[in-house]
Structure 1
Amino acid sequence: MSYIPKWLLLPLLVSTEFPNSFSMAMNQLEKYVAIYQLDDTHEIKTYLRNDKLFSRQLGSFIFELTPKSETEFDFHTWI
């Protein structure tokens, strides 16, 4: 049995590329720019930068959002 090192095998099993098979026009993305209240203490801000939609919670995270459909998004990149 041959040994395959983890550093070689891992990139084959885990993809870091996310297909963006659904595209949205800028005017469609602009509809999602807002501040969303999750509960009494947490707000999520969505905004556009360089023609991309981002989601942010102050002091916590910033994610690029990529559209899966007209109403669903994936967290694409954590900044």
Structure 2
Amino acid sequence: MGLQLPEQILLPGRSGPAGRSSLGSLDRPDRAHRLDPRPEDEPIRLWARANGYLVNDRGHIPGPLREAYEASL
């Protein structure tokens, strides 16, 4: 009848199922850490708010917003 494989195939050097790291969340950056504001972005955010732009307290600043800030200097 054919080859039967176990439900969980373990890969060398891993203790979990195939495709999953045994380190869990330790093998990728913490989402909150990646979204922390960079200090060099704060002047851009302050300028954007003062000039009517909607901008989050943290996360990515869109390129066109950065360009508008640079053009204003």
**TM-score, normalization: structure 1?**
0.29
Which of the two has greater helix per residue? 2
Larger radius of gyration: 2
Which of the two has greater strand per residue? 1
